[in-house]
Structure 1
Amino acid sequence: MDLVTYKPEQDKAGTFMLTVTPAMDLQPITEGRDWLFVLDISGSMKGKYQTLADGVSRALQKMSPNERFRIILFNNSASELTRGYIPANPENVRKYIDKVGKIAPNGGTNVYDGLHKGLKGLDSDRTSAILLVTDGVANVGVTRQKDFIKLIRSHDVRLFTFIMGNSANRPLLTAITDASNGFAMSVSNSDDIVGSILLAQSKVTHEALHGAQLKIKGIKTFDLTPEKIGSLYRGQQLTMFGHYSGSGQAKVSLSGKISGEEKVYQTDFAFPETSTANPELERLWAYASIEQLSREIEDFGEDADMKQAITDLGIQYGLVTDYTSMVVVRDQVFKKLGIERRNTKRLEREFTAQKERAAQPVVQRRADTARPMFKSSNRPTTRSSGGNSGGGGGAGSFDLVSLLFLLPLAWIGRRTKQA
């Protein structure tokens, strides 16, 4: 667990960035995994369905006998080709490869019904993943993005979407896969499908901490982002931004379930009374908050309060958003209009802090050294390119100014992708 703070005055609120990196306690999965294939057999798949069938059949052949699979088909409505999960033994694989290959595409595209039917039969005691293969726009049944998001968030499962063709509703498919910590990829042939499924398999090789919750006691914290964590996977860092008041020792706990068993990791460390080395944290917190609000608007529709919150944050912290922009004018204009140069002062603080940090030795950001959250005699040590070492990984090694300069590029990339 790494901690970076900024609190220039004792009697004012500070900003923090807390980074948690799951490691040794997330063991390789040995009992086998469950794979749910949700396949588009609508009329628009004519001419592409054989590619889908070939890719799925080759993927089934690569499964081990201790894995299980189900196959859901959807067009105007959804139906199940298998009867529950079945072992991926050679006999079952041959049987369902033959059945998938004989299907004739027709009808509309009810993606929601396909996902809904598949999610009903998940086994909570086994690691599960959904493989959705589709080419079209959801045009039958439920079609609103917010309904898809609510559906996928109501289940603890990773969704991987493989998009065939150019007509698919990519913003919708990307949003629901992001909500499940999966990924969406474009595929054009059976080799693409097989390769993408193998990539999905690599994402579920280890246990995950499901329903993760991070609690901080002893210190008042507020304005936390993200508000909800969901699941943490091996190799995935949780980075939480927030504000805090006061100072002193805090008790921090990370809880969740691993393979159905309750797990609680605890530690304690101090939040400083003052901390001036990382003023960039204020804008990083603002950017993370704007990202969270924007995602909620994209998923559930625009809300006046959220729009105003994004606008206020953009103006206060000098960030370009969907509702704020920057206009370049001469210095005399600021003086004439009586505009306070808040961003200039903020940048001066950030660059001054950057120069001071560059002249000092690398600082260790690991916060739980006195009481590690995970105790193990063979705890691995990770080393970043900046020389920072420790199980907490790279959060302490970030040059915060460099990271802040990357944020506008990330924002532009995200908006362009959605457009």
Structure 2
Amino acid sequence: MMKKWAIKSGIVLLLAAILWPQHTFAIGTIFSRPLWETKTYNKMWIKTVDANTTIEGQIATTVVHQVFRNEMNTTVEAVWLFPLPENAVVVELQYEFNGKWYKGAITERQEARQEYEERLRWYLDPALLEYMGDNMYRLSIAPINANSDVQTKITYVELLPYEFGVVDFTFKLNAVQMSPKPLQRVSFSGVFKSDSPFTAFRSPTHEGTTAMSITKDNPQQYTVIFGDENFMPDKDLQINFETRRDDVEMNVIRYSPTAEDSIGTDSYYAIWILPPDDVGDDQVIPKKIVFTADVSSSMEGERIEQLKQALQEFFKYLQTDDMFNIITFGTTTFAFKEDLVAASPENLEDASRFVTEIGALGLTDIDTAMRKSLEQSFSEGYANMIVFMTDGHPTWGETGVPTIVDNIKKANTKNVKIFSFGVGEDVSKPLLVQMSTENGGYAEFIAEDDDIAKIIGNHFKRISKPVLTDLDIKIPGLSISDPFPKPLADLFWGSQVRQMGIYKNAGTFPVFLTASIGDKQVSYESQGIFPDTPGGHRFVPRLWAKAKIDHLLDEIAIYGELNELVDQVIELSLKFQILTPYTSFYADPTVIRNKSEMQPEDFVLFQNYPNPFNPSTTITFHLPENGFVTLKIFDLTGRLVCTLLREQKNAGFHVLQWFGTDASGQKVAAGVYLYQIEFTNSGGEMLVLTKKMSLVK
């Protein structure tokens, strides 16, 4: 059964602990503050960053080794918020303590956070890596001794983006720019391998500097080394490369696990399908395309101007054999033409004038706009598609997401692919995800400060030359299951299609790709070796698991946090050690020090946990010697609420619980309370410590 916790509110609270004092927070920054205190976090020095990457084709495995320096004269907790590339999967966290490295394990998020706090209260050394959304991660490490170093190693695997024939690798070097002073050392080393010869290899960000070395080892391998000292990085490190393809290419890779992998006995495969480098006009499928755009009142201002720019870009990528239309909607729906028209110079000129006159007004009737768009004369022999853009939720006509999605599905009788773009934060993500994925397209979400025209313009460029449609992969004789993604997307020039799955039996089998080019059926064949002996490309199972997790997260976005969906995400995350919004990496020393080694020498009253709390909280204190102890609760007026403890205690740690009640056992009101401990030592001296805590209802 699914554990009950509030995922979204948990993320907000974790971030708020840092964001509240600062008001703003830059990515890739380390902050620290004295342990057990609630002071504002200060920047922490990132001493060194060393990264090592191995790339085979489009699969990159990167290990990042960081050393942080606590320059304060006190023990601190550090929090690092940092980004990773969009398709990255964190697969390993290591943490150095007392000269020995420890490996983190994926656990359920709430369990990891509680374990981290528990270890912290007992003064051990834990590390906790949490996924914060939008491929942003938070690493919490505590305690870090005064004037000392702490080291971490994070390993992540990513499928590198491929667009317009170019593979792009980016190392987030700029993520460390907020260190309070230059880094002692920054280094990166990478080996880039390809089955096909490289036709281009370059670094648009760092090539030509004395800090960068690019060596061509052979036609199919490059080595890159970058390094600098006393350096404040101010930009990411990018490497772009191209390889040669003269026809549609299929690549098959696989992995059969060993017992040490602990992922069961199933074997996994991945298939890549790429178009040729150059696509002539005679190889391009003509398309019928409708741009359906939200022009309701919320689009007023810069958004409507960027929409107009995007539409002008749209016209540039129409071929002479294409047909198009533009449909705008607010409370009512307007079309450039009643039906699709040829992309002739005259029609494009008229369409440009139509776009110039677009204004923002009205409510948001998505249902009517989509049904009208699907009534256009789509037909076989064309790549049929709708590009849909909105910045909000349906507010007029039919507003129920399930009904709108069902209406679109019923109206889509010509297998029209739907590509959706959501602008800003106040957009119906479940609607856009479902109506796109169920109709052969995808949904993309554009941040408030992103360039709408550029992003949608790139999409038009990507889909301007359809190469293959209605793709299907068959491997006769091989028993496969759970292929992802579902369904396969169309193949466009400059893009790629991939499928990952599980296979049960072994052997050499033909891999058939069937597809359509216009109204013609085509087939491509490749031989695939699927052994059951351990080995292969070890990252393949994680790529499959990541694809399935992404599919389940899309389902959660549509249907909500249903037990069966969340449980599957957690199960896959734990099995394949992939970080998700529901899990965290947790590491601490596996050999616990004996109690005398971990006890502080002083009289200490720790911050209660949890705080704020409801209905109960834990109070921990440490006595350096035997003595008499009184622990009292007061409200902010100084009125005594209750006495939790009044007795002789031995030296060491002690733990109490307060259940939010007064001396008579009645529940007290929500608010801020003081807890005060009085300790009389063997010399008759009384020591007093006081802290605040908050009870919430």
TM-score with structure 2 setting the length: 0.41
For 1:184-333, list aligned pairs within 5 A: 184-185=445-446, 195-196=454-455, 198-332=457-591
**Distance in 1 between residues matched to 2:449 and 2:252, nearest whole Å:** 42
Q: CA deviation at 1:282?
A: 3.8
Kindly tell me: are residues 328 and 262 of structure 1, through their superposed partners in 2, closer, same or farther at Cα, counting changes over 3 Å? Answer: same
Match for residue 441 of structure 2? Answer: 180
Q: Secondary structure at the match of 2:582?
A: coil
Q: CA deviation at 1:119?
A: 2.3
Match for residue 367 of structure 2? Answer: 112
The answer on whether the counterparts of 2:269 and 2:503 sit within 8 Å (CA) in structure 1 is no
Match for residue 341 of structure 2? Answer: 86
Residue by residue, what CA displacement relative to the aligned partner does 1:174-229 show, whole Å, maximum 9, x if unpaired? Answer: 7756761474546889xx66545542332123333222222222232223333432
Match of 1:38 among 288, 292, 295: 292
Q: CA deviation at 1:274?
A: 0.7
The answer on whether the counterparts of 2:429 and 2:557 sit within 8 Å (CA) in structure 1 is no
**Distance in 2 between residues matched to 1:171 and 1:77, nearest whole Å:** 23
Q: Secondary structure at the match of 1:314?
A: helix
Q: Secondary structure at the match of 2:274?
A: coil
Structure 1 residue identity aligned to 2:546:
Y
Structure 1 residue identity aligned to 2:270:
L
Q: CA deviation at 1:313?
A: 2.1
Larger Rg: 2
Match for residue 273 of structure 2? Answer: 21
Q: Secondary structure at the match of 2:288?
A: strand
- 2:324 counterpart of 1:72: no
Kindly tell me: are residues 160 and 294 of structure 1, through their superposed partners in 2, closer, same or farther at Cα, counting changes over 3 Å? Answer: closer
Residue by residue, what CA displacement relative to the aligned partner does 1:364-394 show, whole Å, maximum 9, x if unpaired? Answer: xxxxxxxxxxxxxxxxxxxxxxxxxxxxxxx
Structure 2 residue identity aligned to 1:311:
I
**Distance in 2 between residues matched to 1:39 and 1:307, nearest whole Å:** 34
The answer on whether the counterparts of 1:53 and 1:101 sit within 8 Å (CA) in structure 2 is no
Kindly tell me: are residues 169 and 216 of structure 1, through their superposed partners in 2, closer, same or farther at Cα, counting changes over 3 Å? Answer: same
Q: CA deviation at 1:278?
A: 4.3
Structure 2 residue identity aligned to 1:123:
S
Number of residue pairs the alignment of both structures matches? 328
Q: Secondary structure at the match of 2:362?
A: coil
Q: CA deviation at 1:118?
A: 1.0
**Distance in 2 between residues matched to 1:238 and 1:61, nearest whole Å:** 26
**Distance in 1 between residues matched to 2:276 and 2:582, nearest whole Å:** 43
RMSD of aligned C-alpha atoms? 3.9
Match for residue 383 of structure 2? Answer: 127
The answer on whether the counterparts of 1:224 and 1:242 sit within 8 Å (CA) in structure 2 is yes
- 2:261 counterpart of 1:6: no
Kindly tell me: are residues 277 and 135 of structure 1, through their superposed partners in 2, closer, same or farther at Cα, counting changes over 3 Å? Answer: closer
The answer on whether the counterparts of 1:207 and 1:259 sit within 8 Å (CA) in structure 2 is no
Q: CA deviation at 1:101?
A: 4.6
Larger mean Cα displacement after TM superposition, 124-133 or 175-184 = 175-184
Q: Secondary structure at the match of 1:321?
A: coil
Kindly tell me: are residues 147 and 215 of structure 1, through their superposed partners in 2, closer, same or farther at Cα, counting changes over 3 Å? Answer: farther
Identity %: 21
Kindly tell me: are residues 124 and 135 of structure 1, through their superposed partners in 2, closer, same or farther at Cα, counting changes over 3 Å? Answer: same
**Distance in 2 between residues matched to 1:186 and 1:326, nearest whole Å:** 28
Q: CA deviation at 1:92?
A: 3.2
Q: Pick the structure with more helix per residue.
A: 1
Q: CA deviation at 1:89?
A: 3.4
- 2:312 counterpart of 1:51: no
Q: Pick the structure with more strand per residue.
A: 2
Kindly tell me: are residues 203 and 176 of structure 1, through their superposed partners in 2, closer, same or farther at Cα, counting changes over 3 Å? Answer: farther
Match of 1:157 among 411, 417, 435: 417
**Distance in 1 between residues matched to 2:582 and 2:537, nearest whole Å:** 27
**Distance in 2 between residues matched to 1:170 and 1:305, nearest whole Å:** 21
Q: CA deviation at 1:298?
A: 1.7
The answer on whether the counterparts of 2:292 and 2:389 sit within 8 Å (CA) in structure 1 is yes
Q: CA deviation at 1:87?
A: 2.6
Kindly tell me: are residues 237 and 95 of structure 1, through their superposed partners in 2, closer, same or farther at Cα, counting changes over 3 Å? Answer: closer
Larger mean Cα displacement after TM superposition, 26-35 or 194-203 = 26-35
**Distance in 2 between residues matched to 1:64 and 1:226, nearest whole Å:** 29
Q: CA deviation at 1:106?
A: 3.2
Match for residue 139 of structure 1? Answer: 395
The answer on whether the counterparts of 1:74 and 1:109 sit within 8 Å (CA) in structure 2 is yes
Greater RCO, CA 8 A, separation 6+: 1
**Distance in 2 between residues matched to 1:144 and 1:107, nearest whole Å:** 19
**Distance in 2 between residues matched to 1:236 and 1:68, nearest whole Å:** 22
Q: Secondary structure at the match of 1:298?
A: helix
Kindly tell me: are residues 90 and 319 of structure 1, through their superposed partners in 2, closer, same or farther at Cα, counting changes over 3 Å? Answer: closer
Structure 2 residue identity aligned to 1:40:
D
**Distance in 2 between residues matched to 1:111 and 1:161, nearest whole Å:** 13
Larger mean Cα displacement after TM superposition, 300-309 or 167-176 = 167-176
**Distance in 2 between residues matched to 1:78 and 1:104, nearest whole Å:** 13
Q: Secondary structure at the match of 1:264?
A: strand
The answer on whether the counterparts of 1:6 and 1:281 sit within 8 Å (CA) in structure 2 is no
Q: Secondary structure at the match of 2:555?
A: helix
The answer on whether the counterparts of 2:388 and 2:419 sit within 8 Å (CA) in structure 1 is yes
**Distance in 2 between residues matched to 1:278 and 1:96, nearest whole Å:** 50
TM-score with structure 1 setting the length: 0.64
Structure 1 residue identity aligned to 2:505:
G
The answer on whether the counterparts of 1:8 and 1:276 sit within 8 Å (CA) in structure 2 is yes
Gaps of 5+ in 1: 334-419
The answer on whether the counterparts of 2:473 and 2:512 sit within 8 Å (CA) in structure 1 is yes
Structure 2 residue identity aligned to 1:258:
I
Structure 2 residue identity aligned to 1:38:
T
Gaps of 5+ in 2: 1-250, 593-697
**Distance in 1 between residues matched to 2:470 and 2:314, nearest whole Å:** 30
**Distance in 2 between residues matched to 1:312 and 1:230, nearest whole Å:** 27
The answer on whether the counterparts of 1:4 and 1:18 sit within 8 Å (CA) in structure 2 is yes
Q: CA deviation at 1:6?
A: 1.7
The answer on whether the counterparts of 2:422 and 2:443 sit within 8 Å (CA) in structure 1 is no
**Distance in 1 between residues matched to 2:355 and 2:564, nearest whole Å:** 48
Kindly tell me: are residues 183 and 125 of structure 1, through their superposed partners in 2, closer, same or farther at Cα, counting changes over 3 Å? Answer: farther
Q: CA deviation at 1:5?
A: 2.0
